[in-house]
Amino acid sequence: FTDSCNNTSSVSQTITVTDTIAPVAPAAPADVTVECLTDIPATIDLTATDNCAGDVVATPVDSTDSSDPCNIVVTR
């Protein structure tokens, strides 16, 4: 603020944004058992909802445990 005698003063406000609410994740796809690796279903993107960012899309990543070649487990 400046008055007619050129004296000034000012004020400020600090706004802190703290997003503490986790996104709401969708339900995970159902577990499946398949006969062959080629039968594993294709990955699908999943969409969560965030209170600040709106939709959050995640692309699945596979982790494969093939230590037993007759009982391979893919965690997605």
Per-residue pLDDT tens digits for 14-58 = 999 999 999 999 999 999 999 999 999 999 999 999 999 999 999
C-alpha span between 20 and 30 (Å, rounded):
29
* Arithmetic mean of pLDDT, 53-74: 95
Confidence of residue 64 (pLDDT cuts 50, 70, 90): very high
Instruction: Please give the model's pTM, rounded to 2 decimal places.
Output: 0.66
C-alpha span between 46 and 60 (Å, rounded):
8
